[in-house]
Amino acid sequence: MQLTRNQIHRLSIQKTPDSVFQALVQPSAIQAWWGAHSAIVLGRKNGVWSALWGENPDDPEYLTTARILIWEPPFHLALDQLQYYAKSGPLGFEASFRIDYRLWTERDDTVLQINHDGFPITASADGFFKGCQQGWADSLTQLKKYLESLENEPIG
């Protein structure tokens, strides 16, 4: 069994758990805050979560597809069996990623905690690990801006 490492990211957002959860699974919201060209989500246990980035959907820059392992709106979403494609080439290592999203309320905010697990503890995965750290930081900043710019609770 391969040793792995994980990343935990946490963010407080001034929206309801339902609004935050919907932003993670509603295709139009994923496009708006994550900059995806398109997204498909079959929202249920054993469903599908998929997003594509790049100007040309016939030749994407990036594509991520995963199985929805846990579907418990609005407090828990877990993705596994992630398939990651980059136009620049393969990852250069084998990995079995899982992304676990947990949401709860603290005071008037919703806390979103993401645990991205399955990064191999190898030098060949170090660059991707660091890239994901920055990518999550940037993406969560965009998610917060997107959600807090909405006047009402239109998502969901």
Give the C-alpha distances (Å, rounded to integers) separating 100 from 69, 148, 152.
9, 23, 27
Taking residues 49-57, report their average pLDDT.
95
Whether pLDDT at 154 is above 60 = no
For tokens 């490492």, name the residue: 5
Question: What confidence score (pLDDT) does residue 151 get?
Answer: 74
Q: Is the pLDDT confidence value at 46 over 90?
A: yes
What is the per-residue pLDDT across 4-19, written as a single tens digit (0 to 9) for each? 999 999 999 999 999 9
Q: What is the mean pLDDT of residues 11-31?
A: 97
pLDDT at residue 150, rounded to an integer: 87
| Residue 29: predicted pLDDT | 97
Question: What's the predicted TM-score (pTM) here?
Answer: 0.93
pLDDT band at 148 (very low <50, low <70, confident <90, very high): very high
pLDDT at 156 over 70: no
| Domains, the chain | 7-148 (3.30.530.20)
Residue 153 pLDDT exceeds 60: no
pLDDT digits (tens, 9 = 90+) for 102-139: 999 999 999 999 999 999 999 999 999 999 999 999 99
Backbone angles phi, psi at 23, to 5 degrees: -65, -25
Lowest mean pLDDT among 77-86, 101-110, 147-156: 147-156
Two structure tokens written together for 155: 């998502």
CB atoms near residue 37 (< 10 Å) = 16
What pLDDT was estimated at residue 2?
76
Radius of gyration for the chain, computed over Cα atoms and rounded to the nearest angstrom: 15
Look at the block and give the residue holding tokens 């990651």.
84
